Amino acid sequence: MAQSYISIEGISRRFPAPEGGKATVFEDLWFSMNQGEFVCVIGHSGCGKTTVLNILAGLDEPTDGAVIIDGRGIEGPSLDRAVIFQSHGLLPWRSVMGNVAYAVSSKWRSWSRPKVEEHAARFIALVGLGGAETKRPAELSGGMRQRVGIARALSIEPKIMLMDEPFSALDALTRGTLQDEVRRICRDTGQTVFMITHDVDEAIYLADKIVLMTNGPDARIAEIVANPLPADRARNDVHKHPSYYPLRNHIIDFLVTRSKAFQSELDAPGKVWNRRAPPVVVPVSPGAIASPPPVAKAV
Ligand SMILES: Nc1ncnc2c1ncn2[C@@H]1O[C@H](COP(=O)(O)OP(=O)(O)OP(=O)(O)O)[C@@H](O)[C@H]1O
């Protein structure tokens, strides 16, 4: 059997609780990703999405369990894994060019200054910030800062892109353009993407798989939804696909109703829950052909 590229193996995270003891954010999560896959994670605030992302980034460690990437355990951050944070994480004393060029020169240490800046400028232009290279973060709007963070992450051409609501601070037009660009770049370069979002339509447009997490504390992966839309999808056409509304309704129903009830359903007598293999669901319209082939129940 082919080995997964990223394998999350039974990770838990507990923090000291204010009242003493430990608070469990999530317990015994199992999940894997193949190389080149685009995965979105959806779940209510506080279920531990950012904590999982920080563990994948090597910025935090699980209390139990392990994450294996390409056959090796994670040992801290790596330039093979770029992170786009909600809060930009820019160096305030550096210009737009300085922030992106710093990342580029960290990755390719032997490159000359002009080569670094030429490479950085391409990605600054890509996110629509050509002309703003000399500005410092304090001179930019929140959305512009977020675009610098996206340019910086894309510029180091990482194998894995970890994104925490990367488009949430952007206006609708810029968001759409950058979603298209990020999707195109990730597909062209075969990057593996783990992205947190609260935007169901964004997940439907971008993801191959959508991981649904139950509410915290003690959150778990409720389901993995395999996106039945064709991999080669166009933004303007996704809603015309016969499986679009079944997919959208399934996710919204989860967020509105099932994410809360899930825990008590699982605790019902006689319920057997295999944490190692959360159910894979392919929501399709009756009669539609699902892609990828249904590996589990279609609803
Ligand atoms: N360093 C920490 N110390 C104590 N508790 C923490 C720490 N980091 C996270 N938590 C707690 O873990 C829980 C999950 O936080 P996390 O940020 O991962 O959730 P999230 O699902 O990403 O939320 P959001 O959607 O609001 O960003 C929260 O209750 C948070 O208070």
Domain locations along the chain: 6-76+161-168+191-281, 81-157
Q: State the distance from the centre of ligand 1 to the C-alpha of 123, rounded, in angstroms.
A: 31
Provide the sign of the torsion angle of the four alpha carbons 122, 109, 83, 135, taken in this order: negative
| 6: nearest Cα among 100, 59, 74, 91 | 74
**Does residue 51 have its Cβ closer than 6 Å to ligand 1?**
yes
Indicate if ligand 1 lies below 6 Å from the C-beta of 22.
Answer: no
Q: Does domain 6-76+161-168+191-281 have CATH number 3.30.70.1560?
A: no
Verify whether ligand 1 is closer than 6 Å to residue 45 (CB atom): yes
Structure-block tokens of residue 161: 């892109």
pLDDT of residue 169: 80
159 lines ligand 1 (CB under 6 A): no
Mean pLDDT on 165-177: 88
This complex has an ipTM of 0.96
pLDDT score, position 92: 94
Residue (of 227, 196, 236) closest to 290 by Cα position? 227
Pocket test for ligand 1, best of 14, 51, 87, 259 (most atoms within 8 A of CB): 51
Dihedral (CA of 264, 215, 37, 209) sign: positive
Ligand 1, pocket-test mutation among 12, 25, 164, 199, most atoms within 8 A of CB: 25
What's the 77 CA to ligand 1 centre distance in angstroms? 20
pLDDT band at 286 (very low <50, low <70, confident <90, very high): low
Strand arrangement of the beta sheet that strand 72-73 belongs to: 22-33, 6-16, 64-69, 72-73
pLDDT of residue 289: 47
**Average pLDDT of the residues of the chain:** 89
Ligand 1 neighbour 54 (Cβ under 6 A):
no
User: Which two three-digit tokens encode residue 58?
Assistant: 């090597």
pLDDT tens profile 173-184: 888 988 998 898
Q: Is the pTM of this model over 0.95?
A: no
**Euclidean distance between CA atoms 124 and 130, whole angstroms:** 6
